[in-house]
Amino acid sequence: MRLCKVLPLVGHTVRNAGPAALQQQNHQHRHYCTPVVNIFDRNVKRLQRERAAKREDVELYDYIKEEVGYRLADRIFDIKRQFTNAVDLGASRGYVTNHVLGETVQKLTAIDLSPSMLAQIKGSPGLDFSVREMDEERFQFEPDTLDLVVSSLSMHWINDLPACFRAVNRALKPDGVFIGAMFGGDTLYELRSALQLAEQERRGGLAPHISPFVQIRDVGMLLNRGGFTMLTIDTDELVIGYPSMYELMFDLKGMAESNAAFNRPLHVGRDTLMAAAAIYKDMYARKEEGVSATFQIIFFVGWKPCASQPQPAERGSATVSLKDLDKVMTPKGGSGCKS
């Protein structure tokens, strides 16, 4: 974790000086600094993605990201317009790019932190796409050059989401759209609870084994701060069964979704893992067999403001009071339903 150091006030005694001189000297020697806190180690996340991409069975772990990417591509198709220049932010192995139609997007640029992931993107027939290695935290495109930015299950590893949203908004043209999906706060709550209870029992304390996720109530606020309007936010849950907790953890590693927080514990005791697996099975067992794991997906759509977009009416311009709403909505010639 990197914190910005705040320098102390350098004090010098000024003799025979008035209050104005003392105040001027204090302003000269006082140093103000805003702390910068990085939660996630981006270099570790890049290494995790590189290792996952080089596995021979990498396709076995695509089931969640492939499903969410297909749903996002379907939402792009629902917008009845043709996008000339689009970006897939955090493209990974092309979970969105591989489903986008060339009839909808003329040109698409897939960017990701991992070059090995980008090399495995196939694209869809007729789609003009290119790849570009770029850290999602350093999203840099010329202002007002894009009309679509899409991101699927990548932004939950970004340290400064407001800055990323502002950079996306800056790169979009007026009336451009930002479509994304990210893991929500209820993701893997079963695994989090089991590890916390086991560690509390075995070690007498807690450690952050599961990285933090954004809450759905915060997504709209962050998008508004980023300059987006006409927001649409919804959530869905994918509940997946596993034989035990160990298979879940193994799959998370194959997805490159292992913990990358700076304060993560590097080792977990065998006794703690065995206790967590027993607690997991006892609390979250499936009716058939094995255990279940929940992945909360937050979908959102935000638009860059434009004069052609629908605007709210001016305050005080209403012609009907809410107390008279029943009279306006009641059909003339009678009230209520007729049998």
pLDDT band at 190 (very low <50, low <70, confident <90, very high): very high
Q: Tell the residue number behind the tokens 């009071």, with chain if given.
A: 321
User: Residue 94: its pLDDT value, please?
Assistant: 95
Alpha carbon 278 to chain centroid, angstroms: 31
For residues 211 and 134, which has the higher predicted lDDT (pLDDT)? 134
Q: How far apart are the first and last CA of the chain?
A: 70
User: Residue 19: its pLDDT value, please?
Assistant: 46
Question: Which CATH architecture group holds 42-306?
Answer: 3-Layer(aba) Sandwich (3.40)
> Using one digit for the tens of pLDDT, what is the confidence trace for 282-291?
999 998 889 9
Q: Which of 212-216, 231-235, 319-323 has the lowest mean pLDDT?
A: 319-323
User: Residue 75: its pLDDT value, please?
Assistant: 94
Neighbours of 252 (CB within 10 A): 18
Distance separating alpha carbons of residues 90 and 110, to the nearest angstrom: 7
Residue 326 has pLDDT above 80, yes or no: no
Radius of gyration, alpha carbons of the chain: 26
Q: Give me the mean pLDDT over the 186-212 stretch.
A: 90
Please report, for the chain, the start and end positions of each structural domain, with discontinuous segments joined by +.
Answer: 42-306
Q: Which of 39-48, 194-203, 294-303, 318-327 has the lowest mean pLDDT?
A: 318-327
Q: Are 254 and 60 in contact (CB under 8 A)?
A: yes
Residue 120 has pLDDT above 90, yes or no: yes
pTM for this predicted structure: 0.81
User: Residue 335: its pLDDT value, please?
Assistant: 45
For residues 9 and 96, which has the higher predicted lDDT (pLDDT)? 96
> Using one digit for the tens of pLDDT, what is the confidence trace for 132-186?
999 999 999 999 999 999 999 999 999 999 999 999 999 999 999 999 999 999 9
Q: List, in sequence order, the alpha helices (H) in the chain.
A: 19-29, 42-53, 63-78, 115-118, 161-171, 189-203, 216-225, 245-254, 270-283, 325-329
Residue 126, classed as helix, strand or coil, is coil
Tokens of 300: 């959102």
Tokens of 45: 């996340």
